Structure 1
Amino acid sequence: MLAFFRVGILGFGGGPSSIPLVHQETVKKYKWMSEEDFGDTLALANTMPGPIATKMAGYIGYRVGGLLGCLNALLSTVAPTALLMIFLLQLLQLYKDIPWVQHMSASVVPVVAVMLAVLTWDFVKKSGETLGWVKALFILFGSLLLIEGLNVHPAILIMLLIILVFLPIRKRSA
């Protein structure tokens, strides 16, 4: 799959920096899934151990092309990354003391931050539209407080929200 090859070769900075690239390829370019499906896939992938890009590639590949699609997507994601990592780390090791190389490496961080911020804003807007802005902002700031303030692992928070969704709600009689 060319989509995951591009993610594998351009996903510089690790798994989180690959998420906007996966989103671009799977939702916007090829339309293999909706925004909601992508959000669900991302949330579920965050609850499992391992690299997020490979988990998402495996699932999306399976969804699009079955077992062969899964294997193809995984290979397309992992092979370019492994080969580029070997090549680029050798190159960086060779030229690591040159100032412009140090600045180039540091310059990647703000670009990845912007990519993640754009994707985050897209999710916030979608949440506001589907849940309503009050509920979406309550969940957003509550999650921020739990994750950053109380150091609750995101996977625990996601699992609690999934459990809450499936709990039976009893209507109170007036």
Structure 2
Amino acid sequence: MDFQGYMAISGAMARTGIFGYGGGPSVIPLFRHEAVVRYQWMTDQEFAELLAFANALPGPIATKLAAQLGYQQKGAMGAVVAVIAHIFPTSVAIVALLGVLYTMKESVIVAGMIAAVRPVIAVLLGITAYEFCVKTWGGMGKVLGVVFGVVAFLLLGVLDIHPAFVIMAFLAYGTIHIKLYSWTKRKLSGGSGKHHDKGVSS
């Protein structure tokens, strides 16, 4: 058994669970740092694809990312270890500090601590979003990337469509686009080859 590999997964997922203050989107930059920067398990593009698939599935985003990262590294057992390592520290903390939190929830000091942390989370999310945009521009071009970004904003922010449906629609578009591109490329290469053969035979 690769104990070093399991220890790496456990440590990475434990850090995302401990420092992922606020839950939800706030933990995404932490997962990216562990998977892309620290351990280099995947590229930014692969992480963006993982995030898209995770958002299309039901359930908390953090546990889905932990399970997928663990599975990619060590299979089913890696997924189990990753999820446990991610949720265990905070579960223990919640059980141990629940009474304290209830007594201090009206405290001005606690409210100030929460307010001070929020800008950091906003900056982390902004940096992650910017890096995703740069990767998108590199793959699709700036014009198409901006168009898709505006469409996604309208669907999610204005029309309030569930993110899962938007992600599935974009995935479907990408699949159809690649299929059509490959089909067109094969047709053109096949057609040019036939013309070339005719010229040689004559």
Sort the TM-score into its range (normalised by shorter chain): over 0.9
- Where 1:120 maps in the other structure, the secondary structure is helix
Aligned position for 1:139 = 148
Aligned position for 1:83 = 92
For structure 2, the 5+ residue unaligned runs are: 1-9, 189-202
Closer/same/farther in 2, CA of residues 84 and 133 from structure 1, 3 Å limit: same
Deviates more, 1:129-138 or 1:103-112: 103-112
Instruction: List structure 1 segments (4+ residues) > 6 angstroms apart after TM superposition.
Output: none
Q: What is the TM-score with the length of structure 1 in the denominator?
A: 0.92
Larger Rg: 2
Query: How far off is 1:141 after superposition?
Result: 1.1
Q: What is the TM-score with the length of structure 2 in the denominator?
A: 0.80
Aligned position for 2:167 = 158
Letter in 1 for 2:147: F
Q: 2:46 aligns with which of 31, 34, 37?
A: 37
- Residue 13 of structure 1 contacts residue 108 of structure 1 at CA under 8 Å; is this kept in 2? no
Query: How far off is 1:134 after superposition?
Result: 0.5
Aligned position for 1:102 = 111
Aligned position for 2:72 = 63
Aligned position for 2:15 = 6
Identical aligned residues as a percent: 37
Query: How far off is 1:108 after superposition?
Result: 2.2
Query: How far off is 1:123 after superposition?
Result: 0.3
For structure 1, the 5+ residue unaligned runs are: none
What is the number of residues matched between the two proteins? 173
